[in-house]
Structure 1
Amino acid sequence: MYFAKRNSEEPEIVIENTVVYACESASCNGWMRKDFASENYVCPMCGSQLIEEVRELPKIQTDFNSFK
């Protein structure tokens, strides 16, 4: 049998300050990155308003970010 060698080096995870919209309701944990939020600032899970805040999150690379 053949077992592939796993790469011993893990990719570096880059943490950056990211603007997110978080649900203002204390009973809801909903949030989303600003890049993926619609202009409708309502929580999709509970219907409360979303407020802008900054969190330290892993950087993600999407095709959407390259069109900005």
Structure 2
Amino acid sequence: MAYFNNKKEPVPEVETMIWSCTNDSCPGWMRESFSFESEPSCPLCHSEMKKEEKVLPKID
């Protein structure tokens, strides 16, 4: 039996375009590639969203 001190391979991160909620009290955001609309509304509070960039783990 081998123990590796729970060390895992680091997940590569990339700059990703996201939609971010414009409501200051709402933490809502989503990846642009996961949106079905050209200008989505926030799924949490239904406010408008704006495009931003965020460093996130890479998803294939």
Find runs of 4+ consecutive structure 1 residues off by over 3 angstroms.
Answer: none
Alpha-carbon separation, structure 2, partners of 1:32 and 1:45 = 11
Q: Residue 60 of structure 1 corresponds to which residue in structure 2?
A: 59
- What is the TM-score normalised by the length of structure 2? 0.81
In the TM superposition, 1:2-13 aligns within 5 A as 5=2, 8=4, 10-13=8-11
Alpha-carbon separation, structure 2, partners of 1:47 and 1:12 = 35
**Which one has the bigger strand percentage?**
2
Structure index of larger Rg? 1
Q: Residue 44 of structure 1 corresponds to which residue in structure 2?
A: 43
**Structure 2: tracts of 5 or more residues without a match:** none
Size of the aligned set, in residue pairs, is 57
Q: Residue 29 of structure 2 corresponds to which residue in structure 1?
A: 31
**Structure 1: tracts of 5 or more residues without a match:** 62-68
Aligned-pair RMSD on alpha carbons?
Answer: 1.7
Alpha-carbon separation, structure 1, partners of 2:15 and 2:22 = 20
Alpha-carbon separation, structure 1, partners of 2:30 and 2:54 = 11
Q: Structure 1 residue 5: deviation in Å?
A: 4.4
**Relative contact order higher in (CA < 8 Å, ≥ 6 apart):** 2
Q: Percent identity at matched positions?
A: 33
